[in-house]
Structure 1
Amino acid sequence: MANKVISKTACLLALALLLSVASLLPTHAQTQTKEELARIEQELAAQKAAAQSLEKKEKATEEEIEALRDKLIAASENLQDKGNQQEDLETRLVALEKETVLRDTALKESRKRLALLTRLLIQFSRQPAEVFVLREQSPDDHIHRTIVLRSMLPRLREETSTLAKELDNYAQLQNQTESQKRLVTAAQQNLQWQRHNLDEMIKTRQGRLQKTAAEKEALARQLDSLTNEAKDLRQLMEKVSHSSWNRTIGKSTPARKGGAKSPIKMPVAGKIIRNFGDKDDFGIVSDGLTLSAPAGSPVIAPQAGRVMFAGVFRGYGKAIILQHDGGRHSFMSGFSRIDADVGQNVTGGEPLGILPTKGEGKAELYFEWRQGSQPVNPI
């Protein structure tokens, strides 16, 4: 934009100089000067029109990006909700399947008991009356046998009734399980569509903010140098917060909404499995939160900020550092894919990437919030 202003100024100076000299020139020379003036005026008009067109395009792009951001935030929130709903549906399905196995075992035991009682009754019923008359048994034995037979009948009725109820319950449970499977399948398809929709919008956003190949290559070299120099996270945070790094990563993308007064959002919709200040498996006190979320969940910006680092860092895997207003920074690691570029401004709630999907690893995110160089609890 500065070069355009200098070019316009130069043209205007040239025009003024030609006008001042024109009166001193002969008629033929004045004709040539008028032609030169007309050419310069045409060039000025063309440059002005080009500048206005470029300004309109830039404004339209900014408006498009802003509208896209709002859609991305809404889509990310919806996808997080859908992911949690999917997890709940799958948990319910697992519980139903376990209950089905238990009911099936109980049903088999009831059938065995009923079969045993039925077999005993059949054996008694098949013996003719003469057998009991001819056998040398006391009347007490006959009475005892009769009592036993009569006592078995209520038990048989009870077992039959129990089995009938268990069969009915088992059938209902199977229907519930099949219905739950259909819900899970439908939810999975919807979730896949939502993810595809979000991915397409992210591609559109990144396309509007696209850096040139040369800019990307230069920035990649700078990032490699930065990660090699930083021995730990503290050093990395110090380096990216330095003003020289802001100059290195160049002009930022269109301004973001929100600031220091905006509430801090959780980067993923999940459960906190390790709190700030808790010790990890190695006995080291955690400077942040570790969150577990559904596989493939989107990771969002906790607050409006600028992407200062996006890449792989030692021991943390794929990570992002955001710079926020008021000298604050956030650090997030555990990404399967990063969808933001260094130097990009983001709004709170805007997607930055995704967690590992099923089969890729644990869907866990480490989230750290710093005031200056000091880690603080984000909640």
Structure 2
Amino acid sequence: MVRRLALGICFIAIFAFHVMQTTDQLAAQEVLPILPSSDSGQILQKTQEKLNAVRSKSEALNRKAKILSKDIGDIRVSLVAKARTIQNHERRIEKIESKLKQLDTHRKNLTKHLHSKYQQIGKVLAALQRIAFNPPETLVMQAIPPADMVRTAILLRAILQRLKGKVQKFGANLAKLESTRKEARSKRNQLNTEVKHLEEQRFVMNRILGRKSTLHRRTMHQTKSAERQAKVLAKRAENIKELLSNLKKLNARQDPNREISKKANSSGALAEKKAPHKNHATIKSFEAARGEMAFPVIGRIITRFGQPISSKRVHRGLTIETSAFAQIVAPHSGKIAFAGPFRSYGQLLIIEHSGGYHSLLAGMAKIYSTVGQRVLSGEPAGVMGKTKETSINGRLHIKKPALYIEFRHKGEPMDPLAWLTVSKKKASG
């Protein structure tokens, strides 16, 4: 009995040892082989090298982004200054052209007046000439009472004095006419000089805009996506108020350029501080800049806010007749919310400002800015064409280019003239 028990214990011990050995073998198969210390060091070194390379590349990209951001900021400052120079040339050209029109009208009136007086003087001279051909002796031989002869002599003396005055006045008017012609020639020479300078400045402007566009493409990879979304919203919207509401919802849902444009747009704040300006509209909020904003274009006001269109409709904005290829600038700093065609507005640019304000510019032939981009006060936003590009004021019988301007607060239109500066006199009407 004891022998059987001992044999059983031995059997169990042998079985247990076999099981433990098998388990150790299986466990050994699951454990990764231990690498020599030299191989482990090489892997660690390679990993560290890759990490350093990534860090170096990241730092290089950050430095490049800062340089691009600074370049864009400097370019925007240059554009503001260049746009101001161009608009100064446009303003001088407008004044010269207006003066030339006045001189031309004055010249025509003088010519007409002189022609009329010339005919009158000619008739009087012809009559006096006929009298002069008669010898004085013939007057004595005629049966004329002495009193009548005296009266005739007095009358002739008065006619001669009056004729002398008219001839002197005629000569003075001739001198005025010649002076007017000389002034007109001088103004035309000034006009040609201003036009030449304007073309030179526009050429420089286009080069700067090309540089800005190149840099902007490098930093705004998602601009096209934002523009596509804005165009989809424009197709759905029935009017401007609905479009603004859709754009607001889109911005609330997502800002497609938020991460990418952060550094690019940060140059806007720096550029805003550096930008040369004569008023403080650049550094003020939209609401605080009321009455200090620059006119977006040089031209003549042809329709005003609230002016009747029909018995049930009125103008919701301002229309300014401009010269061909006139420069358009942003009235105040902000972010481009929409840029592209919209219904009867034609090419429409919507700038979103602080405090729920928006400015709308329509009628341009070309828009420089893109959706998501920030613009400074006075920065070029577009250029007019040769003819009218918008039909929003279709009843106006004008052939010249016309810029339509709307200011809105929370979707409701406001009178733009209450916000634009009157001291600059950049638009007249």
- TM-score, normalised to structure 1's length? 0.80
1:89 aligns with 2:99: no
RMSD (Å) for aligned C-alpha atoms: 3.3
Number of residue-to-residue matches in the alignment: 354
Q: Distance in 1 between matches of 2:239 and 2:401?
A: 23
Amino acid at match of 2:308: K
Deviations 1:136-187 (A, max 9, x none): 6666676565455444432332232222222222222221221122222222
Specify the SS of the correspondent of 2:378: coil
Amino acid at match of 2:106: E
Q: Distance in 2 between matches of 1:246 and 1:182?
A: 57
CA 1:173–1:215: 2 relative to 1, 3 Å: same
Residue aligning to 2:184: 177
1:268 aligns with 2:278: no
CA 1:105–1:275: 2 relative to 1, 3 Å: closer
Q: How far did residue 319 of structure 1 move?
A: 0.6
Q: How does 1:190-269 map to 2 (within 5 A)?
A: 190-210=197-217, 218-219=225-226, 221-243=228-250, 247=254, 249-251=256-258, 252=261, 253-255=264-266, 256-257=268-269, 258=283, 260=285, 263=289, 265-269=293-297
CA 1:43–1:268: 2 relative to 1, 3 Å: same
Aligned with 1:66 (options 69, 73, 76): 73
Any gaps of 5 or more consecutive residues in structure 1? 1-23
Q: Distance in 1 between matches of 2:157 and 2:414?
A: 77
Q: How does 1:45-124 map to 2 (within 5 A)?
A: 45-124=52-131
Q: How far did residue 54 of structure 1 move?
A: 1.2
Q: How far did residue 111 of structure 1 move?
A: 2.1
Q: How does 1:1-379 map to 2 (within 5 A)?
A: 25-26=35-36, 30=38, 32-128=39-135, 131-132=138-139, 146-210=153-217, 218-219=225-226, 221-243=228-250, 247=254, 249-251=256-258, 252=261, 253-255=264-266, 256-257=268-269, 258=283, 260=285, 263=289, 265-270=293-298, 273-281=302-310, 283-357=312-386, 361-377=399-415, 379=419
Q: Is 1:259–1:303's contact at 8 Å kept on the other side of the alignment? A: no
CA 1:249–1:277: 2 relative to 1, 3 Å: farther
Deviations 1:53-77 (A, max 9, x none): 2111110111111111112122223
Q: Is 1:206–1:340's contact at 8 Å kept on the other side of the alignment? A: no
Q: Is 1:268–1:291's contact at 8 Å kept on the other side of the alignment? A: no
Q: Distance in 2 between matches of 1:92 and 1:309?
A: 39
Q: Distance in 2 between matches of 1:135 and 1:200?
A: 91
Q: How far did residue 214 of structure 1 move?
A: 8.9
Q: Distance in 2 between matches of 1:77 and 1:281?
A: 37
Residue aligning to 1:17: none
Specify the SS of the correspondent of 2:173: helix
Residue aligning to 1:11: none
CA 1:217–1:325: 2 relative to 1, 3 Å: closer
Amino acid at match of 2:382: G
Percent of aligned pairs with the same residue? 24
The answer to which of 147-156 and 107-116 deviates more is 147-156
Q: Distance in 2 between matches of 1:337 and 1:66?
A: 22
Q: Is 2:327–2:384's contact at 8 Å kept on the other side of the alignment? A: yes
Deviations 1:275-330 (A, max 9, x none): 44443356423444444455433322233222121001012111112222333333
Deviations 1:225-270 (A, max 9, x none): 2222111112111111114676364343423335736625245255
Q: Is 1:259–1:324's contact at 8 Å kept on the other side of the alignment? A: no
Specify the SS of the correspondent of 1:210: helix
